[in-house]
Structure formats: C-alpha cells, structure tokens
C-alpha cells in the first residue's frame, strides 16, 4: 500500500477540519496528572486547530474567521497534550475480505492519527500481534510534520503469525500515559474482552472499532463447504442451507449485542464498521454521529 493510495491531498485537507470529541473526555480524565491543562495562559503560541464544541470562545481567532469563515482556536505550549493510542489487530483473520479488513483498519487509524497530529496531540501506534518477542510499535510522534512518519509506519505493518496477543506490550504504556485509545479489530478470539477490560480500567477514553467484512455479516454461501480458520488453520465441514444461515445470523447478532453491552458497561464506545462503508463516509458522517469526531 503506497502513501498515494492511502490518501489524497484533498482528503487530508478535509480531515484538518475535524476535531476529536474524545479529546475533551481524555483531558478531563487526566487533568492534574500532567502539566496544567488550563488554556490561553501561556504566551508561547504554537498553532491553530478547528473549533470544537465546548472550546473557550476567548481563544477563537476572529481574523482567521474573517478570512476563511471558519472557527479556529489558538493553541499554546501550556495546553495539555493528549496521547492518541492506535491499537491495531494484525492477526491473520484481519487479512481477509473485500475490501480487506486489515487495510481498512490501517486507513481508519491513519485518518484518526492525522487529526490528532494536526491538533498537536501525540500519536502512538501498537500492533497487537508479533511473530517475534514483542509486538512492534511506533513511539509517540507529534505535529503535522510527523504525518509521513505515521503513514509510513502504518503501511509497514503486516499481518503476523498467530503467536498470541501481546497484552503486556499493549497495556503497559497506557498505565503511565493516559489519553485516547482506539482499538481496531474483528474481535475473533476469546482474549479480546480481557484486553478491552484492562485498557478501559486504566482511565483512558476508549473507542472499539469492530471491523468486519460484509461476507462475515451476511454470508451468501450455499451448498457443502470446508471452512478453514485463518488463525489456527483448523477445518470444519459445513452445509450452508437456509436453516444454517438463519442460525448464523442469530448467533452473529447476539455476539455483537454482547459486545455492545460489554462496552457500555465500561464506558467504551462500541463502533461496528463494515468495510464497504467508504472511509470518507466513516470519518465525515458515521463518527460524528457516534460522538467521536466533530
């Protein structure tokens, strides 16, 4: 996946008009744990970002509004930084579907990360699986100039052999540096509830993107098949008739409902995503409706 295929310049410019609603929640949760989160008191100007609901009107740049007819607020060095953690499921099951689930996760993570960089937040990436001793990660980067570093790193990630979730590598950095955590996964496996529970218990603002292929949501199979588990290569013989598909849909609906309830009990935003949703629709329609972006 090349950088040019990842995003167009026009798409990036549109992203710069968005802001993370979750940023305010994270700042509230971490207030007092780091340097002052008071705004507008530092004399060291840093940058602008789009106005978000709830921002101090005294920090709006009215000269910029007169030129662009858009609201921007001034950022100062003293303003509390937030770390945006992008946790990406790179297990074999993610490397499937049309459009591909893993590529969709990368594009979604890159979009949210870019919004964070534009708003002067730190952005960190952690892959959840590794074929080595520990999962690969990108240390926090900051500022719009770091966008290429972020994009290149995300594009360098690849599905790994299923040697188990690297929970400690994922969770440890979140204990000391609270902020926003975006998880991107198809949630196949028994370990995901434990991970989400651990991450959400650390005082982070968490959103779980449940990314699935349309064929996983509404299978169109018929007849006899041998299905292979991409995680462990186990095979199972299946006859896909009307009753089998009806039972599948019933179990699938119950599974998603269980996840929705699990997340609601932990103040985690549960966001089911089908890969056929255009990335533009996801960022500019779905996520603002879900209260993630504004």
Residues 175, 84, single domain; the answer is yes
Domain boundary residue, one of 25, 60, 76: 76
Return the minimum-mean-pLDDT range out of 13-27, 139-153, 264-278: 13-27
Residues 36 and 178 in one domain: no
| Residue 266 maps to a domain | yes
Q: Which of 100, 92, 56 is nearest to 74 (CA)?
A: 56
The pLDDT assigned to 249 comes to 92
Q: Residues 170, 272: one domain?
A: yes
Residues 143 and 174 in one domain: yes
Instruction: Map residue 283 onto helix, strand or coil.
Output: helix
294 lies in some domain: no
- Within-domain flag for 7: yes
Average pLDDT along the chain: 82
Q: Is the pLDDT of residue 8 over 70?
A: yes
The residue out of 60, 76, 92 marking a domain boundary is 76
Strands (E), the chain: 45-50, 72-76, 83-88, 122-127, 137-142, 179-185, 205-212, 223-228, 235-240, 269-274
- Say whether pLDDT at 14 is over 90: yes
261/225: higher pLDDT:
261
Check pLDDT > 60 for residue 27: no
Last residue of a domain, one of 28, 56, 76: 76
User: Do 109 and 248 fall within a single domain?
Assistant: yes
123 with 39, same domain: the answer is no
Q: Are 78 and 44 in contact (CB under 8 A)?
A: yes
Domain count, the chain: 2
Nearest to 22 by CA among 152, 180, 150, 154: 180
Q: Is residue 165 part of a domain?
A: yes
Residue bearing the bigger pLDDT, 35 or 184: 184
**Is the same domain home to 151 and 264?**
yes
The answer on pLDDT for 37 being more than 70 is no
Residue 245 lies in a domain: yes
pLDDT at 221: 65
d(CA 268, CA 250): 24
In a shared domain, residues 88 and 233: yes
Asked if residue 115 belongs to a domain, the reply is yes
Q: What is the mean pLDDT of residues 57-63?
A: 77
- The tens digit of pLDDT for each residue in 199-221 reads 999 888 999 999 999 999 988 76
Query: Phi first, then psi: what are they for 73, rounded to 5°?
Result: -110, 150
Residues 37, 139 share a domain: no
Residue at 100 is within a domain: yes
Range ranked top by mean pLDDT from 74-88, 123-137, 143-157, 236-250: 143-157
- What CATH number is given to the structural domain containing 157? 3.40.50.410
Specify the pLDDT at position 54.
Answer: 62
In-domain check, residue 147:
yes
Same domain, 233 and 127: yes
* Residue 235 in this model has a pLDDT that exceeds 80: no
Beta-bridge mates of residue 76: 45
Structural domain including 205 reads: 3-12+80-289
Rounded-to-integer distance, Cα 119 and Cα 138, Å: 19
Together in a domain, 70 and 87: no
Evaluate if residue 95 carries a pLDDT over 90: yes
* Residues 85, 36 share a domain: no
């Amino acid at each position: 996946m090349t950088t040019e295929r990842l995003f167009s310049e026009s798409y990036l410019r549109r992203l710069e008009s968005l802001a993370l609603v979750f940023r305010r929640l994270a700042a509230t949760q971490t207030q007092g744990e780091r340097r002052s989160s008071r705004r507008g008191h530092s004399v060291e100007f840093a940058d602008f970002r789009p106005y978000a609901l709830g921002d101090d009107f005294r920090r709006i740049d009215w000269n910029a509004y007169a030129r662009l007819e858009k609201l921007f607020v001034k950022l100062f060095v003293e303003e509390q930084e937030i770390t945006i953690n992008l946790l990406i499921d790179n297990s074999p099951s993610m490397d499937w579907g049309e459009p591909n689930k893993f590529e969709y996760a990368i594009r979604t993570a890159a979009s949210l990360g870019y919004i964070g960089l534009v708003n002067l937040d730190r952005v960190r990436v952690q892959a959840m699986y590794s074929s080595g001793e520990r999962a690969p990660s990108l240390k926090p980067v900051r500022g719009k100039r770091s966008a290429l570093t972020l994009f290149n790193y995300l594009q360098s990630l690849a599905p790994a052999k299923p040697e188990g979730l690297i929970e400690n590598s994922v969770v440890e950095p979140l204990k000391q540096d609270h902020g926003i955590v975006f998880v991107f996964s198809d949630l196949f496996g028994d370990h995901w509830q434990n991970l989400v529970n651990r991450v959400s218990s650390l005082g982070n603002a968490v959103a779980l993107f449940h990314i699935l292929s349309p064929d996983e949501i509404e299978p169109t199979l018929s007849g006899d098949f041998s299905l292979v588990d991409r995680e462990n290569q186990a095979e199972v013989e299946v006859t896909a008739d009307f009753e089998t598909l009806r039972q599948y849909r019933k179990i699938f609906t119950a599974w998603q409902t269980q996840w929705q309830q699990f997340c609601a009990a932990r103040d985690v935003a549960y966001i089911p995503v089908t890969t056929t949703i255009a990335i533009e629709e996801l960022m500019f329609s779905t996520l603002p409706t879900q209260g993630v972006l504004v």
